[in-house]
Amino acid sequence: MAPSQSDSAGDALTIATYGVGQIAGYLRELVETDQLLRDLWVSGEVRNFSRSQAGHIYFTLADDDGALRCVFFRRENLGVEVAQGDQVLVHGRVSLYVDRGDLQLYVDALQPEGVGVLHAEFERLVARLDAEGLFAAGRKRALPVYPRRIGVVTSPAGAVWHDIQSVAMRRWPLTELVLVPCRVQGDGAAETIVAAIEALNAMADRGGDAAPDLIFVARGGGSIEDLWAFNDEGVARAIFASTLPVVSAVGHETDYTIADYVADLRAPTPSAAAELTLPNQDDARTSLRERVAELGRALERVADTAALQLSALGERAEARRPDVEAERVRLDDLTKQAGSSVMMRISAQRAVLAEHQGRLSALNPRATLARGYAIVQDAQGRILRRASTARRDDALQLLLEHGTVGVTVAAVDGKPARKR
């Protein structure tokens, strides 16, 4: 906040001065950064009550020792019943309205004074988180049917951890329970619960055999003060942000916490959490036997159906099977016909062959020799067709039907032979 300077001639003294807006803004900053004034519950009587046309409520909260102006905006006061003279418990933050210099309590929740601060804070958180969608049924995650590993967020002391183990061993001993210890009441308990939930999600993100697939957030019964850690906003947001399904098992059946509303399943007791989420091994055995029996019956039905279909196919095949005997007779007839045809063809070809053989025999020179003729060859083996080609004293060879005769030409007559 930078001051303005006041100075006069001959006067060495300088005095800092501030604008009204500067002081008002400074005061508002002081008030709004004060940890107590940023988040508090205040009780008192409603006075000077009024409601604007826009739906905003203005009143003074007063007691015998003082008064505080309050504003309750329409978006916060929907459904809230309040009137002049009511003794109330309000939650909000204190700030300075700079334009008028008014110190005001900006109210975001209001309860009748007899409710009690813890209950009023519970109702305020429920309303705000519900408006943000943390309790929406549509975002609830499905729980595994057969959990392999469950991370249990609770105190290692007391009966809760033992009760969950006993029920798990009785119902479904195949499930492994992993204890992530935390404090379940008192200062700092909420922070340890958040850390345990985040640690289990980190294990799931890393994967492997140690990864859980479900989380129990559990505690035994107690007063609202004892259970308050499970009404903490940080715990609610950790459950909401969990990638693993979360079962809330806090207190007795009549106890409700904000963790119950955010969780994917609310169990009335820690033991009930194991009862609700783990299958019963006896029921599983019975179901398995029934399924095996049903499978056997189904296989019998399939086998019977297949047998009927096979029989029908056999009948159809038999009806369509050719008459082998008739076909054999027809084949014999065709064979005989083919044999007769072949023999007739052979006889015809033999006749043709005999004719050709006769012609060849008639043209065979040896047939001529058989009739008493001879073939004359000169010394070089050439056949003599004309007498004029021979010379006196030539040595000639006569080819007869049986053997050869060597002769010497005594005389040559080149005249053609006379026809007889």
48/59 Cα distance (integer angstroms): 5
* Alpha-carbon distances of 11 from 2, 14, 15, 142, rounded to whole Å: 22, 8, 11, 81
Please, what's the b/e burial string for 163-193 (b: 16 or more CB within 10 A of its CB; e: otherwise)?
bbeebbeebbeebebebbebbbbeeebbebb
CA angle at residue 56 from 53 to 59, to 5 degrees?
A: 115
Residues 6+ apart with CB under 8 A from 174: 146, 148
Fold match between domain 4-115 and domain 141-282: no
Neighbours of 400 (CB within 10 A): 13
Structure tokens at 153: 């967020």
Quick: pLDDT tens for 205-261.
Answer: 999 888 999 999 999 988 888 899 999 999 999 999 999 999 999 988 888 999 999
Give the model's pLDDT for residue 352.
86
Question: Which residues lie across from 376 on neighbouring strands?
Answer: 398
| CATH classification code of 4-115 | 2.40.50.140
Kindly report the pTM of this predicted structure: 0.56
Closest CA to 176 of 203, 198, 140: 203
Quick: pLDDT tens for 372-409.
Answer: 788 888 888 888 888 878 888 888 888 887 888 888 88
Q: Where are the domains of the chain?
A: 4-115, 141-282, 368-408
231/67 Cα distance (integer angstroms): 31
Q: What is the mean pLDDT of residues 160-181?
A: 95
Quick: pLDDT tens for 1-20.
Answer: 766 665 555 556 788 888 89
Confidence of residue 178 (pLDDT cuts 50, 70, 90): very high
214/200 Cα distance (integer angstroms): 9
52/61 Cα distance (integer angstroms): 18
141-282 fold: Rossmann fold (3.40.50)
Query: Does residue 43 contact residue 87 with C-beta atoms inside 8 Å?
Result: yes
